[in-house]
Copies of this chain bind each other. A is one copy, B any other.
Amino acid sequence: MRRVLPPDERRAELLTASRAVFAELGYHQTGISDIVDRVGCSRGTFYNYFDSKREVFAAVLETMMGEVTGVIEPIDVTRDIPSQVRDNVERIVRGIMAEDVLRVLFSEAAGIDAEGDELLREFYSGATERIETALRTGQQLGVVRDGDTRLLAWCLLGLLKEPVFQARLYGEDVAVSALVGELLALISSGLLRG
């Protein structure tokens, strides 16, 4: 009944379970019970490793953040740039589509409470900055047209988030390659003809 584990393993176990449960039920519908039941430990144990429900959610997001940004490869200016952009977009889309719990982040992480919003700000600040850096580099290389990089970064974020969000809402899967195609077309030449 009592299962003693080295702290690191127990923590990892709880983190994994939390990620799965948050992904399945969403933040608000998830109870601590759902997490500890999945792990097979007690409520008390959970609180030995995390201070609160929000904290474990934060921890889940943090581990994810690393995984998502890890798939991005820096552009090598000596090689064909468009194909590298395409590859990056595809990797990112695949990455966030695969990460079910991101959908939760994208759709209901806001408004949990004041500290939760702070967490969210940090998350998005990081993401936005990365995108802005990439955009500025592109502008310097003459690949990206001029414009307010912050607004553009938000727009790009929206392009990536919304399909994920909508797909979750309807419980559908999205054809990644089709989506990547549309995104690239949008980025490269917009929506209008001619």
Pair A162/B170 contact, Cβ less than 8 Å: no
- A155-B162 in contact given A28-B28, A107-B111, A110-B26 (Cβ < 8 Å): yes
Q: Which residues of B contact A152 (CB under 8 A)?
A: 182, 186, 191
Size class of the contact patch on chain A: 35 or more
How many copies, total?
4
Pair B169/A159 contact, Cβ less than 8 Å: no
Q: How far is the CB of A77 from chain B (nearest CB, A)?
A: 15
- A147-B185 in contact given A110-B169, A154-B163, A165-B110 (Cβ < 8 Å): yes
Complex CA gap A162/B160 in Å reads 10
Pair B162/A111 contact, Cβ less than 8 Å: no
Pair A144/B189 contact, Cβ less than 8 Å: no
Complex CA gap A29/B142 in Å reads 46
Pair B169/A124 contact, Cβ less than 8 Å: yes
Q: How far is the CB of A107 from chain B (nearest CB, A)?
A: 4
Residues of chain A at the chain B interface (Cβ within 8 Å): 25-29, 82, 104, 107-113, 117, 120-121, 124, 128, 142-145, 147-148, 151-152, 154-163, 165-166, 168-170, 174, 178-179, 182-183, 185-193
